[in-house]
Amino acid sequence: MPPVLREHHRGQERIELYTHLSLYLLVLLEPILLIIWLVSAPPMANGRSLTWPLTALGLLQTVACVELLRAGLAPPAPHGSRHRLRVAFAAASSLAAMVVPLALYPRPPLLDADAVELMAGGALTFLAGPLVMAWPLSAALALLTGLAACGALAAGALDTPGGVIAEAGVVGLVAGVAFCCAHWFSGWTLGVVRELRRTREVQARLAVAEERLRFARDLHDVLGRNLTVMALKSELAVALNQQGQAGQAAAQMADVQRIAQESQDEVRAVVRGYRTADLLTEIEGARSVLRAAGVNCRVEGRAELEDERQSALAWAVREGTTNVLRHSEARWCAITLSVQDNRTVVLTIENDGVDRGCTPKGGGGIVGLTERLAALGGTVEAGPRSDGRFALCVRLPLEPSQALETMPS
């Protein structure tokens, strides 16, 4: 996998990790608040004998919500029957964590009204986020509404004051909506990141498959007709030989030999064309490959050159593209063709993926490119620049009759 595409995957994995951590921290906020309340609660006003059971009930709900959140975050996370047991367990523990503090409020030992309201409303709040992640939004909201109604009815039956029930409901509604929005948006973000990763992988595979199909099509066009003719002539030579016409059979086999040699030459031409593509074709291919790897590629300039110089510059484009994909962490790349003094064509390939701490080394590709261009009087310069970019600059002298026309991409 090219470093650019690998860096994109690492970035997406970091986004997923940070999102998971933030969601788990929201759920784990409940036991943290319970522990703070347990440590700071006055023993006479809050009934120290009940603080530990209430804390244990809150921790049980936290475990249920964490398990529900884990199931909802698992890729893929279809909303189906495999979450029903987790949802039922989380709903039952949340209902108990909501009703028990409300039921204990008017009875000795007394619990503080603010603590009761926060506990009852918080039980519904901390369930809302994981439930939205694991179930469809409409089903999750319906279940939360049902739990709130059941909790209010149960607390009313246990003679809990209506004001305390109402305040707990307000806390659960406001905080629950906030948690629902936070978890739903995080789930949507994770879906986008995963889809982006799949899309980039598909684009890379399609680019490779398209190039294979093109090469296979060229080979088929070159060899298909010749192989058919060779087969027919071979059959004819066999038939003529069986009829005693050895001379004509030998002539047919000579034609077969000639066609086979022509086919070899045509295959070499196809392979040579594959290795030394037309300059414009190579530039378009480089732009397509770079964009498939997530690099924003900009192309400027167009040249009308004779075949030898086009081939040399096409090699330079291929070498520069390979360097961007293999040896950098680029986000953008610019391929520019320009002319200097109507005598020299300049090809520049720049990218922003240079590592400032690295020392440039001469690779075999640059050495081979330098030797190829030296035969035409060209020069190659490659290395990092002061502005943090890496540039491959090729200068090739033009024939007097050649011209360059600049055309923005």
CATH of the domain at 392: 3.30.565.10
Per-residue model confidence (pLDDT) at position 44: 43
pLDDT at position 134 over 60: yes
- Mean pLDDT of all residues in 76-97: 73
Looking at the fold, whether 172 and 294 belong to one and the same domain comes out as no
Looking at the fold, whether 141 and 18 belong to one and the same domain comes out as yes
Q: Residue 331 domain-assigned? A: yes
User: Can you give the pTM of this predicted structure?
Assistant: 0.44
Query: What's the number of domains the chain is made of?
Result: 3
Give percent helix, percent strand, percent coil of the chain, each to the nearest 5: 70, 10, 15
Looking at the fold, whether 365 and 234 belong to one and the same domain comes out as no
Looking at the fold, whether 267 and 399 belong to one and the same domain comes out as no
Minimum mean pLDDT among 102-106, 144-148, 296-300, 350-354: which range? Answer: 102-106
- Mean pLDDT of all residues in 367-392: 84
pLDDT at position 97 over 80: yes
pLDDT at position 156 over 70: yes
Looking at the fold, whether 236 and 141 belong to one and the same domain comes out as no
Q: pLDDT-based confidence at 222, cuts 50/70/90? A: low
* Beta partners for residue 299, in sequence order: 335
Q: Residue 303 domain-assigned? A: yes
Looking at the fold, whether 38 and 91 belong to one and the same domain comes out as yes
From the number of C-beta atoms within 10 Å of its C-beta (0-12, 13-18, 19+), residue 105 rates as: buried
Amino acid occupying residue 193: V
Q: Residue 307 domain-assigned? A: yes
Residue 336: strand, helix, or coil: strand
Domain boundary among 275, 291, 326: 275
Domain boundary among 170, 199, 228: 199
Q: Residue 15 domain-assigned? A: yes
Looking at the fold, whether 10 and 80 belong to one and the same domain comes out as yes
pLDDT > 70 fraction of the chain, expressed in percent and rounded: 79
pLDDT at position 4 over 60: no
pLDDT at position 161 over 60: yes
Q: Residue 204 domain-assigned? A: no
Per-residue model confidence (pLDDT) at position 359: 46
Please report which helix (H) or strand (E) contains residue 96, including its range: helix 84-104
Looking at the fold, whether 63 and 173 belong to one and the same domain comes out as yes
Question: From residue 98, how far is each of 27, 172, 335, 401 by CA, in Å?
Answer: 16, 10, 64, 87
* Beta partners for residue 382, in sequence order: 392
Looking at the fold, whether 241 and 322 belong to one and the same domain comes out as no
Q: pLDDT-based confidence at 45, cuts 50/70/90? A: very low
Q: Residue 296 domain-assigned? A: yes
Minimum mean pLDDT among 130-134, 253-257, 305-309: which range? Answer: 305-309
Q: Residue 205 domain-assigned? A: no
Looking at the fold, whether 187 and 260 belong to one and the same domain comes out as no
**Spatial CA neighbour of 323 closest among 290, 298, 291:** 290
Per-residue model confidence (pLDDT) at position 76: 58
Find the distance separating the first CA and the last CA of the chain, reported in whole Å.
28
Looking at the fold, whether 254 and 304 belong to one and the same domain comes out as no
The mean of the pLDDT values for the chain is 76
pLDDT at position 319 over 70: yes
Range of the domain at 151: 3-199
Q: Residue 207 domain-assigned? A: no
Looking at the fold, whether 258 and 310 belong to one and the same domain comes out as no
Q: Are 299 and 409 in contact (CB under 8 A)?
A: yes
Domain boundary among 245, 275, 305: 275
Residues 19, 20, 25, 30, CA torsion sign = positive
**Spatial CA neighbour of 354 closest among 381, 379, 333:** 333
Residue 350 DSSP class: E
- Mean pLDDT of all residues in 236-258: 86
